[in-house]
């Protein structure tokens, strides 16, 4: 364990549990424990601000002697989450800090290498806030992390949320229409709506069957974080290569009931990337025709030339409905929805792709996620 504090004896006003009412009980427990443990290890008594600016993407704010930090609270972080978390923390205003229940050494190292500041409920911390510097590692889990089961971010919930984010009018549709548009079983929709409401992303007004999304930007971030762990692996077909590295430039992929995502799709929107890894969503029925037309073949491992790699996934939305038709005409029909492109870019955790994801968000997503 190592920690250094460049300014000793600094005590801030005790943070108020009153402010924690904006967090759910699980998040409150994590923040409470993390701040208490930090104080026990270092003597620093950080204060929670009682105000959160309108439109802030933070869960809460923490005051230090010299500045205010925007807090993102997370539980049960896994490696697949890191691209999305790093992306979100980097865009928080003011400086972002991750507060978690527990960060294992590998995850903590990745965060530190990306200059993401953090603290967890076990006492592991990395804070670089001159004149304060804290670097504590090696602490083991000390708090119970059990949580009531909420299926909003399991496989079916992710399909439902994707449909809502692509077309919010679907929130008010009949359960049958929601099922037809998202591919979620009719009998599961009611429970998923309840779970979304309990998670803080859906409301109904006047006890009527009328729902509206709230905290949409945070909901998008949660979806982007959960998708590569919970849903995307189930869609994976395999890795392929082609003798023609530029095959993708001259093929009308939508003719094969297939769509670009990831780097190729982002390049078509931003003209920023030179795609290295090709990501395709192709239906089982038409995918074989695409493979034949593009002369794709199964990649052998290890793959020598990563720049010629094609990753193929099955769509998770119903056939003939890839959720682009609710967007304006200037959005492309040969790609998946920009929300999915954004998620695939972030999941790569590649610095080029993270930068492109920010550009894509600003140009093609932010307007439709909007302000809460």
Compute the C-alpha angle 80/90/87, nearest 5°.
30
User: Is the confidence at residue 8, as pLDDT, over 60?
Assistant: no
pLDDT on residue 300: 79
Place of tokens 């682009």: 324
* Structure tokens, 70: 């925007």
Burial state string for 140-160 with b = 16 or more CB within 10 A and e = fewer than 16: eeeeeeeeeeebbbbebbbbb
The pTM for the full model equals 0.68
**Helix/strand/coil for 273:** coil
Confirm if 170 and 164 have CB atoms less than 8 A apart: yes
Percent of the chain with pLDDT over 90: 35
Burial zone of 254 (CB within 10 Å; 0-12 exposed, 13-18 middle, 19+ buried)? middle
Place of tokens 């599961």: 188
Q: If you average pLDDT over residues 92-118, what whole number do you get?
A: 91
Band (pLDDT 50/70/90 cuts) for residue 71 is very high
pLDDT on residue 148: 54
Q: If you average pLDDT over residues 37-53, what whole number do you get?
A: 82
Q: If you average pLDDT over residues 301-315, what whole number do you get?
A: 79
Q: How many residues does the chain have?
A: 372
User: Is the confidence at residue 167, as pLDDT, over 60?
Assistant: yes
* Structure tokens, 354: 């993270």
Q: Are strands 211-213 and 258-261 parallel, antiparallel or unpaired?
A: unpaired
In angstroms, the CA 296 to CA 290 distance is 8
Band (pLDDT 50/70/90 cuts) for residue 325 is very low
pLDDT in tens, 78-101: 887 888 889 889 888 889 999 999
* Structure tokens, 121: 């409920």
120 CB-near residues (< 8 Å, 6+ apart): 34, 99, 100, 101, 102, 103, 139
Band (pLDDT 50/70/90 cuts) for residue 306 is low
**Helix/strand/coil for 129:** strand
Band (pLDDT 50/70/90 cuts) for residue 41 is confident
Q: How far is CA 342 from the centre of its chain?
A: 9
Other beta carbons within 10 Å of 126: 22
- pLDDT-wise least confident of 102-116, 153-167, 292-306, 313-327: 313-327
Judge if the upstream peptide bond of residue 302 is cis by omega within 30 degrees of 0.
Answer: yes
Rg (CA), the chain: 22
Q: What is the dihedral of CA 81, 87, 92, 96, to 10 degrees?
A: 60
Band (pLDDT 50/70/90 cuts) for residue 210 is low
């Amino acid at each position: 364990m190592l920690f250094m504090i460049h300014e000793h004896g600094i005590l801030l006003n005790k943070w108020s549990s009153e402010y924690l009412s904006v967090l759910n009980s699980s998040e409150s427990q994590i923040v409470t424990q993390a701040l208490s443990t930090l104080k026990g290890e270092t003597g620093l008594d950080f204060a929670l601000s009682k105000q959160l600016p309108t439109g802030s993407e933070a869960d809460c704010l923490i005051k230090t002697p010299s500045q205010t930090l925007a807090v993102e609270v997370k539980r049960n972080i896994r490696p697949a989450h890191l691209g999305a978390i790093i992306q979100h923390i980097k865009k928080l205003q003011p400086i972002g800090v991750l507060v978690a229940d527990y960060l294992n050494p590998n995850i903590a190292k990745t965060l530190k290498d990306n200059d993401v500041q953090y603290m967890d409920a076990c006492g592991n911390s990395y804070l670089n806030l001159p004149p304060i510097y804290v670097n504590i590692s090696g602490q083991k889990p000390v708090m119970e992390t059990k949580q009531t089961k909420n299926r909003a971010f399991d496989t079916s919930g992710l399909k439902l949320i994707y449909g809502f984010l692509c077309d919010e009018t679907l929130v008010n549709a009949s359960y049958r229409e929601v099922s037809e548009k998202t591919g979620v079983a009719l009998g599961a929709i009611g429970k998923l709506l309840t779970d979304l409401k309990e998670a803080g992303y859906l409301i109904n007004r006047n006890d009527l069957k009328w729902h509206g999304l709230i905290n949409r930007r945070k909901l998008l971030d949660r979806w982007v974080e959960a998708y590569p762990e919970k849903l995307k692996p189930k869609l994976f077909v395999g890795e392929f290569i082609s003798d023609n590295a530029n095959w993708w430039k001259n093929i009308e992929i939508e003719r094969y009931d297939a769509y670009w995502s990831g780097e190729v799709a982002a390049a078509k929107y931003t003209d920023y990337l030179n795609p290295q890894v090709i990501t395709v969503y192709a239906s089982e029925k038409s995918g074989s025709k695409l493979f034949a037309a593009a002369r794709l073949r199964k990649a052998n491992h290890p793959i020598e030339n990563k720049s010629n790699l094609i990753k193929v996934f099955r769509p998770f939305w119903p056939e003939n409905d890839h959720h682009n038709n609710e967007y304006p005409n200037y959005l492309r029909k040969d790609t998946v929805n920009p929300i999915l492109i954004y998620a695939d870019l972030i999941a790569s955790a590649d610095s080029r792709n993270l930068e492109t994801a920010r550009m894509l968000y600003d140009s093609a997503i932010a307007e439709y996620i909007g302000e809460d």
